[in-house]
Amino acid sequence: MSMSETFTSPSLITRIAIGKAVGLVIGLLGFLLAPAMIPDIDIYFRWGLLLWYASIGAVIGVFGVFTYHPILKLPMPWWVRAPIIGAWFNFVLALFTFDKLGTYMSAILSDGGRTASPFWVVLEGALIGLLIGFLCTRYGGEGRETIPQTPE
């Protein structure tokens, strides 16, 4: 399979590359814009954001192969699957970095009320997942046709 065939036909590699690239762009935006919103933000947290969203993109790209849930016996279209993955990743992020993320959210949204909850990143993850899932499916395809079949 040539390079041009990889990017024109449905391909798992294309899905992963698109997911990682979009995630990296989103992470890069977070990396570059975070100091403007939170002047004393930790550099390790910024690097974590950069790599976190690239990882989310890669996982959403890989999961494009699964279009049917075998246990629930339900179809899993990209617009259900990708936001769930993004929301789950950011839910785990909120659990691991609850205190630090809460401090940063309070600094950004200075009202100190419910909008400063670290769990708002779950909604953000769902929206980012939706964007990544759309682009992966649009340009990389989905389902079994993304996996090349080798002759036996």
pLDDT value at residue 108: 78
Check if the beta carbon of residue 133 is closer than 8 Å to that of residue 82. yes
pLDDT tens across 111-147, in order? Answer: 656 667 889 899 999 999 999 999 999 998 887 778 7
Residue for token pair 């698109």: 18
Give me the mean pLDDT over the 21-38 stretch. Answer: 94
4 band by pLDDT with thresholds 50, 70 and 90: low
- Distance, in Å, from the CA atom of 77 to the CA atom of 133, rounded to the nearest integer, reads 10
pTM: 0.87
End-to-end CA distance of the chain: 17
Check if the beta carbon of residue 111 is closer than 8 Å to that of residue 139. no
Say yes or no to pLDDT of 5 above 90: no
23 CB neighbour count, 10 Å cutoff:
27
